[in-house]
Amino acid sequence: MSLLRVGVLASGRGSNLQAIIDACREGKIPAQVVVVLSDKEGAFALTRAAKEGIPAIHLNPQSFPGKEEYERAVSAVLKDHRVELVCLAGYMRLVGKTILDAFPNRVINIHPALLPAFPGLHGQRQALEYGVRFSGCTVHFVDEGCDTGPIILQAVVPVLDTDTEETLAARILEQEHRLYPEAIKLFAEGRLKIEGRRVLIKN
């Protein structure tokens, strides 16, 4: 079976990127990361990619007249590398129509909360401040809203009385590193079917 060609967009430290790369390398998922793109010049995600011999590209949004032009450039890089699935991994920008039209139903994201609770920034802090007993993470298809697309997989973790934002984030992150490769595996195996808001998993 040929390997699914994955492009990753990341803005920060790239620990989810690393989990995806490792799972691919270990043969746990029939995929390969073929390009990593960041909107942030010094993103550690780019360093990780370069270290793995994966093309690591910085595109500065400020160098483009607007979001559409920036997204056209991002899409062109992804297309150049014949990307079949775009994974957002700590990509701190709202993906718009240009990228979504270029990759219909082929953009997925991981969010550090049980959506639809606590979308947007600081999902872990929002959960702690709200006082929920459980939080977790969600892998979902991306649509034009903020963390509103159809949900692929979720993992639950307890929120402890002693938790700080950091300890809760660490507990969730451990699950993120397991869940994201699992979702990519399902996609690569052609087992995901979107029906309205629901994602059905075949077999």
Q: Answer yes or no whether residue 38 interacts with ligand GAR by CB under 6 A.
A: no
| Residue tagged active-site, from 58, 81, 111, 140 | 111
Q: Report how many residues bind ligand GAR under the rule CB under 6 A.
A: 14
* Opening angle at CA 159, ends 153 and 164, nearest 5: 115
Binding mask 1-20 for ligand GAR (x = CB under 6 A): ---------x-xxxxx----
Name the amino acid, one letter, at 89.
Answer: A
Question: Per the structure block, which two tokens stand in for 101?
Answer: 């039209």
Pick from 176, 181, 192, 199 the residue near ligand GAR by CB under 6 A: 176
Nearest residue (CB) to ligand GAR, 24 versus 89: 89
C-alpha neighbours within 13 Å on the C-beta side of residue 113: 20
Point out which span in 106-114, 126-134, 182-190, 191-199 binds ligand GAR (CB under 6 A): 106-114
Pick from 7, 90, 149, 181 the residue near ligand GAR by CB under 6 A: 90
C-alpha neighbours within 13 Å on the C-beta side of residue 99: 28
- Residue 151's DSSP bridge partners are 140
Q: Answer yes or no whether residue 110 interacts with ligand GAR by CB under 6 A.
A: yes
CB 21 to ligand GAR: min, Å: 11
Question: 58 an active-site residue?
Answer: no
Nearest residue (CB) to ligand GAR, 13 versus 189: 13
- In the chain, what's the furthest Cα-to-Cα distance? 49
Point out which span in 24-32, 72-80, 110-118, 149-157 binds ligand GAR (CB under 6 A): 110-118
CB 170 to ligand GAR: min, Å: 10
What is the enclosing helix (H) or strand (E) of 10?
none
Q: Answer yes or no whether residue 171 interacts with ligand GAR by CB under 6 A.
A: no
Task: Provide the CA 56 distance to its chain's centre, in angstroms.
Answer: 16
Question: Per the structure block, which two tokens stand in for 113?
Answer: 């909360």
* CA nearest to 6, candidates 112, 136, 150, 107: 107
b (16+ CB within 10 A) / e for 36-54? bbbbbeebbbbebbeebeb
Q: Which residues bind ligand GAR (CB under 6 A)?
A: 10, 12-16, 89-90, 110-112, 123, 173, 176
